[in-house]
């Protein structure tokens, strides 16, 4: 079963490299995917949201979700699984960006992006903001395949973990706020 999944992953990634890479998308997606290094884009956006009362809850929920995603993905699963990156296992495969972590499974970029986006989608009332956050996360996840630093199952699992972490982050922030408000009323 694992061999079948690996074979499918490799075939899908080679197909993406051979059929979707082009001179227009390559610089755009190579740049965008690197904005997600260490979660910087999404961490910066969450921190910025903390500065404004209207977005403070969403920023806190996103931060909580991303922190949980970091613990689960980068500090727990990746070191345990130690799946090699695509260019290590696929002969003559070229990644478009440098990636210094040799572990591929699951995608930390996808996890972080979806933890951020799902937390915002749960907390923010504006439909356009929810759609924009989810679209940014989807592009981040797909960019990891396009640039060739993850297998499809890495991205799928990273997306699922990120989604769950975003939901949990939103739940935690709402629970803390409810508790704070109930204590404030009884004081």
Domains and CATH numbers, the chain: 21-180 (1.10.606.20)
pTM above 0.75, yes or no: yes
- Give long-range contacts, CB 8 A cutoff, 24+ apart: 53-56: 55/124
Residue 187 pLDDT greater than 70, yes or no: no
Burial of residue 154 (CB within 10 Å: 0-12, 13-18, 19+) is buried
The residue length of the chain stands at: 187
Tokens describing residue 49: 């949201």
The per-residue pLDDT for range 30-39, each reduced to its tens digit, is 999 999 998 8
Cα(99)–Cα(96) distance, integer angstroms = 9
Residue 65 pLDDT greater than 80, yes or no: yes
- Beta pairing partners, 84: 103
pLDDT at residue 11, as a whole number: 96
Burial of residue 9 (CB within 10 Å: 0-12, 13-18, 19+) is buried
Tokens describing residue 85: 């990156």
């Amino acid at each position: 079963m694992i061999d079948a999944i690996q074979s499918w992953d490799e075939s899908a990634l080679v197909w993406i490299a051979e059929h979707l890479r082009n001179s227009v998308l390559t610089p755009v997606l190579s740049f965008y995917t690197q904005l997600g290094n260490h979660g910087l884009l999404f961490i910066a956006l969450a921190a910025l949201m903390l500065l404004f009362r209207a977005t403070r809850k969403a920023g806190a929920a996103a931060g909580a979700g991303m922190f949980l995603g970091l613990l689960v993905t980068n500090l727990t699963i990746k070191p345990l699984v130690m799946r090699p990156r695509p260019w290590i296992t696929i002969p003559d495969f070229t990644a478009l960006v440098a990636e210094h972590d040799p572990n591929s499974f699951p995608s930390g970029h996808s996890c972080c992006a979806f933890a951020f986006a799902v937390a915002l989608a749960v907390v923010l009332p504006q439909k356009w903001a929810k759609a924009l956050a989810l679209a940014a996360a989807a592009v981040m996840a797909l960019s990891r395949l396009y640039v060739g630093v993850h297998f499809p199952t890495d991205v799928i699992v990273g997306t699922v973990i990120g989604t769950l972490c975003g939901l949990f982050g939103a739940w935690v922030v709402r629970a803390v706020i409810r508790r704070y408000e109930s204590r404030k009323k009884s004081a």
